[in-house]
């Protein structure tokens, strides 16, 4: 009997021992094998967990291109039941089903967040340019009514990205990040750079990538949208600050053909008194296509490069210049990279050596894209950029075609070898690497000038590289325009806060078929679209006018006193008046992981009416922007117009032959005001309750903008460029109805001293019950800081408005020297 008891005891001990060894504890989680799949769970923080799945016997050594964070030491409680291994941190529970291998995620209080679909993990053998590897996919189960956001810059017009299939290969007008976040407060980053399909339908939500040695993804629980953005930036990199001047107005064109023409544009803006901070020099300053991207001024129209840069600077403006990820065969860069086997062989722009359209392929250009994944190639790229352009004092880089352009695609093109394997394997991370190469090198050689890069493509993690991504060469149409709000908001929700678009759309040829270039900007169909796009551009991180087919400078649209000209000038001036607010928001983005363009769901998640709203957003924490996104005065459809007849033969016409339009006629645009707060009309100070749709009266000179109750809004001086005047006489507007707080940020406006704490902040607090404003003690200091100034305090009210302007009637003028001041209003 004793022997039987002993035997049973041994079996029980052996059973318990076997169960305890069904997984292996690691430094940051566990590793186990389930159903012929190795599953590893690694906690990076209490709210961020990495899942790696591979096949037994495979060696997986992957260094992420996007992720820069090292795993922290996270206290975990690991338990096992009959069919589940559970890992609990302070904020997140991860459960691994030991029968199916499916991983599920719950909040600390047990709320279900996301679950892998059982049996959906898939490895399919794939030959990648001679390397035996796998195609990989994983599906998840979402709640039926769960809204998700992200995936990058898409031109589908959608806010929530449910119920669609997206083929992710970087291209001109779509920038893909394999990341989405949910209204439930979690995010998922699929860490793969090969061509990937995202599919969401009744069967599940799936990522499927063409190449992957393993399945590798990160789940993060931030509890809300800002929290998820913060965790994505913690994982893939923080956002550095841009200089103050980058937030002014930028004028560009495809293209200015001489240095005198470029400088002349800045001179004309100064003559007209219209603010301008930046001018952009587009391509062909290097000469012909065989010298493509030579990073030197070989074009006879630019005979004195240093004088060119100096002339722009002497007008208190800044210059950025076009550079590409490819080189023509007559450039020294091409020859050096070719010798070292650091070029890729596929068709890219431009295809012909002749600067004509369509390209004449009897004269192939020979332009090739360089291997941006190779650190030595990135060194070579910067060496020539530094010597040829940065040494002249050029202020920033317009990195065009960073997808890169891939024309006449053939599957074998993906077999091109890169430093990290086939081009197929790393395709979507090309913009991350090429932009990162320029940022890292400039940071190494200079701390006096902040890196500023305007680029056409982006990927997860690129926010750490001082770049603003624009949405590509869009056609000029109302549909394209309407797509920009959800495109920018979804990009922001991937963790990338810096977005802009070509104001007016790039290809405007449909508006320019019947008139010479000098009068095309007076076409009322284009005028209405351009003005509305410009007004939207006021409330994006970069306000930049650019396009081809017609000139976009303000003086081509008319003259002062005419409705369209005045609407353009007023929009630009509005941008400059908001610079203290915008620059403070930039600091908030860099230091507190905030966002410029904020989908309404970020601030009003309880209001389900905003979950899928694609026509309004918050700009910073205080301003709700509802741009006029539909034509009110002209047909949206581009119709054939000739100078003799206008749209219809019966229409009245201007002297240029265009139909006459009264842009001062009052129209109406619908605006939804989210619930949970009261709102003030920015222009009239009229107050509205949230949770309702209202009709805003508009003319061509009106952008519907509303201010949240409790907001404290600084208004800057009237200037011609961002740093023309100090902020020693700011207007501080108080919007009653709730307590509020605003911290004004100031620094030297450029350089990286702010990273060392060389800046100051002043916090304003509004107590709505007591009607008191407390201006807190100034924290910090920097060279050139104002030690004494005046704040003009204004309580928003209807009697302080006249038309579309706030009448300067401060309730109190407060002298401030850095000590706390309490103002009773």
Percent of the chain's residues with pLDDT above 70: 93
Which position among 116, 216, 395, 473 bears the catalytic label?
A: 473
Q: Cβ distance 196 to 207 under 8 Å?
A: yes
Q: Cβ distance 468 to 542 under 8 Å?
A: yes
d(CA 308, CA 425) in angstroms, rounded, equals: 42
Q: Quick check: is 360 catalytic?
A: no
pLDDT at 436 over 70: yes
Question: pLDDT tens digit string along 633-692?
Answer: 999 987 554 433 343 334 565 666 667 899 999 999 999 999 999 999 999 999 999 999
pLDDT at 19 over 70: no
Q: Quick check: is 473 catalytic?
A: yes
Query: Across the chain, what does the average pLDDT equal?
Result: 93
pLDDT computed for residue 61 by the predictor:
83
d(CA 669, CA 32) in angstroms, rounded, equals: 58
Which of the four pLDDT bands, split at 50, 70 and 90, describes residue 809? confident
Q: Quick check: is 781 catalytic?
A: no
Smallest Cα–Cα separation from 249: which of 532, 79, 503?
503
pLDDT at 782 over 70: yes
| DSSP string covering 460-473 | TTGGGGSEEEE--S
Which position among 128, 191, 206, 400 bears the catalytic label?
A: 400
Which position among 403, 502, 731, 746 bears the catalytic label?
A: 403
CA 765 from chain center: how many Å?
30
Choice between 178 and 11, residue whose per-residue pLDDT is larger = 178
Question: pLDDT tens digit string along 25-82?
Answer: 999 999 999 989 999 999 999 999 999 999 998 888 889 999 999 999 999 999 999 8
In degrees, rounded to 5, the angle at the alpha carbon of residue 192 between the alpha carbons of residues 190 and 198 is 55
pLDDT computed for residue 509 by the predictor:
86
d(CA 454, CA 162) in angstroms, rounded, equals: 30
If you average pLDDT over residues 151-176, what whole number do you get?
98
Q: 399: Cβ–Cβ under 8 A, 6 or more apart, which residues?
A: 323, 324, 325, 434, 435, 438, 453, 454, 455, 456, 467
CATH code for the structural domain at 25-236: 2.60.40.1760
pLDDT at 819 over 60: yes
pLDDT computed for residue 800 by the predictor:
67
Question: pLDDT tens digit string along 128-157?
Answer: 999 999 999 999 999 999 999 999 999 999
pLDDT computed for residue 518 by the predictor:
52
pLDDT at 120 over 50: yes
Percent of the chain's residues with pLDDT above 90: 89
CA dihedral sign, ordered 696, 702, 703, 707: negative
d(CA 622, CA 599) in angstroms, rounded, equals: 13
pLDDT computed for residue 652 by the predictor:
60
pLDDT computed for residue 644 by the predictor:
39
Q: 15: Cβ–Cβ under 8 A, 6 or more apart, which residues?
A: none
Task: Write down the domain spans for the chain.
Answer: 25-236
pLDDT computed for residue 799 by the predictor:
73
Which of the four pLDDT bands, split at 50, 70 and 90, describes residue 11? very low
């Amino acid at each position: 009997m004793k022997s039987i008891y002993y035997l049973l005891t041994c079996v029980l001990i052996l059973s318990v021992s076997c169960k305890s060894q069904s997984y292996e504890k690691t430094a940051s989680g566990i590793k186990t094998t389930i159903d012929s799949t190795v599953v590893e769970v690694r906690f990076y923080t209490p709210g961020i967990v990495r899942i790696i799945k591979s096949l037994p016997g495979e060696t997986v050594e992957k260094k992420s291109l996007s992720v820069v964070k090292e795993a922290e030491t996270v206290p975990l409680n690991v338990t096992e039941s009959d069919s589940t291994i559970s890992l609990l941190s302070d904020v997140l529970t991860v459960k691994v089903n030991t029968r199916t291998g499916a991983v599920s995620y719950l909040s600390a209080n047990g709320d279900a967040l996301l679950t892998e679909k059982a049996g959906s993990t898939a490895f399919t053998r794939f030959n990648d340019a001679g390397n035996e590897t796998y195609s990989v996919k994983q599906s998840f189960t979402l709640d039926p009514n769960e809204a998700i956001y992200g995936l990058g810059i898409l031109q589908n017009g959608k806010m929530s990205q449910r119920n669609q299939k997206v083929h992710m290969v970087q291209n001109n007008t779509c920038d893909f990040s394999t990341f989405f976040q949910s209204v439930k407060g979690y995010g998922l980053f699929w860490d793969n750079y090969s061509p990937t399909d995202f599919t969401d339908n009744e069967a599940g939500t799936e990522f499927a990538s063409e190449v992957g040695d393993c399945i590798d993804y990160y789940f993060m629980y931030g509890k809300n949208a800002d929290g998820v953005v913060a965790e994505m930036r913690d994982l893939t990199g923080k956002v550095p600050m841009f200089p103050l001047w980058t937030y002014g107005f930028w004028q560009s064109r495809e293209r200015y053909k001489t240095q005198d023409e470029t400088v002349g544009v800045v001179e004309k803006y100064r003559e007209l008194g219209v603010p301008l901070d930046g001018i952009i020099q587009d391509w062909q300053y290097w000469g012909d296509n065989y010298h493509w991207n030579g990073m030197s001024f070989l074009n006879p129209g630019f005979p004195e490069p240093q004088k060119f840069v100096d002339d722009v600077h002497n007008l208190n403006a800044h210059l950025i210049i076009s550079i590409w990820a490819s080189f023509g065969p007559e450039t020294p860069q091409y020859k050096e990279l070719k010798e070292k086997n650091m070029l890729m062989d596929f068709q890219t722009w431009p295809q012909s050596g002749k600067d004509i359209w369509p390209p004449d392929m009897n004269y192939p250009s020979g332009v090739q894209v360089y291997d941006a994944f190779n650190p030595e190639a990135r060194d070579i790229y910067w060496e020539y950029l530094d010597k040829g352009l940065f040494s002249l004092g050029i202020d920033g880089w317009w990195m065009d075609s960073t997808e890169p352009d891939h024309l006449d695609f053939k599957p074998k093109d993906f077999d091109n070898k890169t430093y990290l394997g086939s081009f197929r394997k790393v395709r979507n991370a090309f913009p991350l690497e090429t932009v990162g190469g320029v940022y890292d090198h400039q940071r190494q050689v200079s701390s006096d000038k902040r890196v500023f890069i305007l680029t056409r493509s982006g990927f997860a993690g690129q926010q750490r590289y001082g770049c603003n991504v624009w949405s590509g060469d869009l056609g000029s149409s109302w549909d394209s325009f309407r797509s920009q709000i959800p495109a920018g908001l979804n990009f922001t929700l991937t963790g990338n806060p810096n977005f802009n678009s070509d104001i007016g759309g790039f290809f405007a040829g449909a508006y320019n078929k019947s008139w010479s270039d000098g009068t095309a900007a007076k076409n009322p169909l284009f005028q209405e679209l351009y003005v509305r796009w410009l007004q939207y551009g006021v409330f994006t991180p970069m306000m930049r006018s650019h396009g081809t087919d017609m000139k976009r400078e303000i003086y081509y649209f008319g003259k002062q006193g005419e409705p369209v000209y005045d609407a353009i000038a007023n929009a630009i001036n509005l941008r400059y008046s908001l610079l203290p607010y915008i620059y403070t928001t930039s600091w908030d983005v860099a230091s507190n992981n905030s966002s410029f363009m904020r989908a309404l769901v970020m601030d009003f998640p309880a209001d389900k009416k905003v979950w899928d709203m694609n026509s309004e957003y918050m700009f910073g924490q205080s301003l709700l922007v509802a741009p006029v996104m539909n034509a009110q005065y002209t047909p949206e459809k581009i119709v054939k117009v000739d100078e003799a007849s206008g749209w219809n033969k019966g229409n009245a016409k201007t002297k240029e032959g265009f139909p006459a339009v009264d842009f001062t006629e009052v129209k109406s645009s619908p605006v939804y005001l989210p619930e949970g707060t009261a709102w003030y009309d920015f222009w009239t100070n009229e107050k509205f309750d949230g949770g309702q749709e209202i009709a805003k009266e508009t003319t061509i000179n009106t952008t519907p903008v509303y201010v949240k109750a409790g907001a404290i809004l600084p208004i800057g001086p009237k200037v011609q460029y961002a740093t023309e005047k100090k902020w020693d006489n700011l207007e501080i507007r108080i919007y009653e109805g709730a307590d509020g707080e605003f911290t004004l940020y100031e620094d030297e406006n450029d350089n990286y001293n702010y990273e060392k704490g060389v800046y100051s902040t002043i916090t304003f607090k509004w107590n709505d019950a007591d009607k008191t404003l407390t201006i807190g003690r100034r924290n910090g200091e920097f060279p050139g800081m104002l030690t004494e100034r005046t704040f003009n305090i204004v309580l928003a009210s209807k009697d302080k408005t006249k038309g579309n302007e706030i009448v300067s009637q401060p309730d109190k003028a407060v002298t401030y020297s850095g000590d706390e001041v309490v103002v009773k209003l």
